[in-house]
Every structure is written in C-alpha cells, then in structure tokens.
Amino acid sequence: MEFLTSLVRFFIYLSCSCMVLSSITIFKLNSVVFSVEDCEFPAIFNFGDSNSDTGGLAAAFPAFLYKPYGETFFHKPAGRFSDGRLIIDFIANSLNLPYLSAYLDSQRTNFTHGANFATAASTITLPNLIIPNGGFSPFYLVVQYTQFVRLKSLPQKTREAEYFKQALYTFDIGQNDLGQGFFSNMSIAEVNASVPDIINSFSTNFKNIYNISGGTSFWIHNTGPIGCLPYILNTFPSAQKDEAGCAKPYNEVAQYFNTKLKEAVVQLRKDLPSAAITYVDVYSAKYSLYTDPHNDGFEQPLVACCGYGGKYNYGSGGCGETIQVNGTQIFVGSCRRPWTRVNWDGIHYTEAANKAVFHKISTGAYSDPPLPLKKACYMTPK
C-alpha cells in the first residue's frame, strides 16, 4: 500500500512538473519543437498579386478603384479586389498590426509596421502583355523585390536591422502565371511545361529577398483552385468538371504548380538553414469552400456575387460596370447577401470567404510544418 501511495505521488509530481515545464519552455507537435511563446513580428512584408493587394494597383492605375468594391467592410473602394478585407488583412489583424500600406500608395503610406508590394495581376515571371492594354501588372516579382530593396535603404529609425530580421515575410503569387498561359492559347500541357521555370524564378527571388532582408520567418501560400473561378468556368465551358463543378484540368495545373512549389520550399530549407519557412496549403483550404460550402455558411460557391450574365453571373458585365441590357443601362452591382458567397467578382473572393480561409490556415492545420501563424518564426529540427 505504501508503494502504491508513493507511486501515485510520483506520477502526480511528474505530471505537474511536466505541465509547469511545458508552460515556460517548449512543446512538440508532429516532430516540430517550438516555444509556447508567440512570435513577436514587428512588421509584415508581403509579395503577391490581387489575392493580397491592399491598394498597389489602384494607386498605379486609379481606374481600378470603383464601387462596389470595398462595400462590406470599408464602405467604399479601398484598393482591394473584394467587397472587404483580404487574407493578408486578417493576418495583420491577428498579429496586432495595422493593415499593410501598399508600397505604391504615396498618399496613405505608413511603413512603420511593414509594407505591401503586391499588386493585382502580378506574376512571378515577366508578363507577356502589360496593363493598361488588357494584360498583367508590370510589378511582377522581380520588381517587387527591387521595391523592397529601395524601401530597406531608406534612412528611418524603423528600418533598423532587427526590424527586418524579426519581420514576417509573406508570399501569395503564381495564379496569374497560370492564367497568363491559359489566356495565351497555350494548351494544358504547355502551361504545365512552363511551371518549373516559374518556380525556379520564385526560388531565385525568394533567395534574393532572404539575403537582402536578413529575415528568418517566411509564410508561403500555394495557389488556389483556379478551375473553380467563374472567369475560368465561363471561358472554358467544355472543360471536364469535378464533383464540385470546378474545371478539373485547370485545377490539376494548379495542383502541379503547388507540388513543384512545395518541392522548391524543401530545397530552400536546405539552402537556407537559418530560415523558418512555412508552406501553406491555401488550395485545400479554398477548395473546401466549394466541396462543403454549407459547413462555412456559404451557398452557390461557383456563382459570382458581383457580375452579370450566364450560369456563373460572369461574362456579360463586370463588377462595377454600367452595361446595356435590352436597351436599358444597368449598373452591375453586388448580390444582396455577399456574406453567403465565396466568389466576389468572378476572379476574387468575398471578405467572408477570405475570413473563412484565414481561420483555416492560421491554425497550422494546412501548413507544413503544422505551425500556427503565430509560431511561424520557429524552425523544424534539422
């Protein structure tokens, strides 16, 4: 009896000791060891396209700033290609940082807590056709990198080495490289064949940003299910559909891109052993909104909220345009309940969808390593 009592006391002591130890030191998750303390990110530097553009393209080309964009949260156009906030906005908010100012916005710039180099229609590689002639953004990833170099050289107190070293560097780009191929009359096989070069370009720019920044924390989004977007579904109506109604061949290209991106991340970890690089499977998080929309409160996930025409409410009139229908001019506005919709304007997501995706990925459930956003400064054991 005395032995059993001693044994019970030992286990109680051991349990309590482990609880105290784990609360002040480290814990383990799927072979990832990291401190329970949240990372202290003083800033975010973001590189990307319209999925994370907080006003860059609208500053460069004011014609892209119009109603009803921004109506849900900002109640006016806010440079975002959505009715409200983007995933990057929710990321900043969750880290107790202000929304990122676009680097190109000279009127509302505040780089105290980082900067956003993303612009809508940006690509990783040099675009074939540049806006305003119906093409893509001139601010592709190489240009975004050079903008970051210039910003870092500015002599301000907040631009100290530790500020850049401790910042979080986020990437969400690549969708337009695929779209550029699809809309340049390239076959699916040809677009697939271009992916390795696109990924190599990404890796080169990533290393350049790593080397010039001195940063150690990187959060990389893969590309989403492009075949579920109305602008693809409407343009390529004969494409084979999957169980969610998405264009299967186009999603398969995105999946191939993501496979190569993940392979590149694995190599980057080897090449840059001091970097904590988190690969985030945004594709799966977004695709779940199409396969199980009701789980997140959505309906008609393939139909644009703001648009006009056809099965997907896209094609006959773009969001915010004034068009003529049966001799009558009508304004192409948003649907009555944008919070129940996944897609905003045929290409981009609603604030509600962005928020849902953020909550999915911020937990680490879609990440490799499976780290929550607030632990993204910690590395996997080498």
Q: Which residues are catalytic?
A: 50, 345, 348
Q: What are phi and psi of 162, to 5 degrees?
A: -65, -35
| DSSP-assigned states of every residue in 14-77 | HHHHHHHHHHHSEEEETTEEEESSPP--S-EEEEESTTS-SSHHHHH-GGG--TTTTTTTTSS-
Q: How far apart are alpha carbons 31 and 325 in whole angstroms?
A: 60
How far CA 371 is from CA of 41, 89, 177, 231, in Å, comes to 15, 19, 28, 33
41 neighbors 95 (Cβ within 8 angstroms): yes
Cα(109)–Cα(56) distance, rounded to whole angstroms? 11
Q: What is the DSSP letter of 130?
A: B
Residue 21 C-alpha from the chain's centroid = 36
DSSP bridge pairs for 308 = 317
208/28 Cα distance (integer angstroms): 32
Q: What is the DSSP secondary-structure string of 171-207? A: EE--HHHHHHHHTTT--HHHHHHHHHHHHHHHHHHHH
Strands (DSSP E) contained in 232-374 are: 276-280, 322-325, 328-331, 367-368
Provide the phi-psi class of 180: left if phi over 0, else alpha when psi is between -120 and 50, else beta: alpha
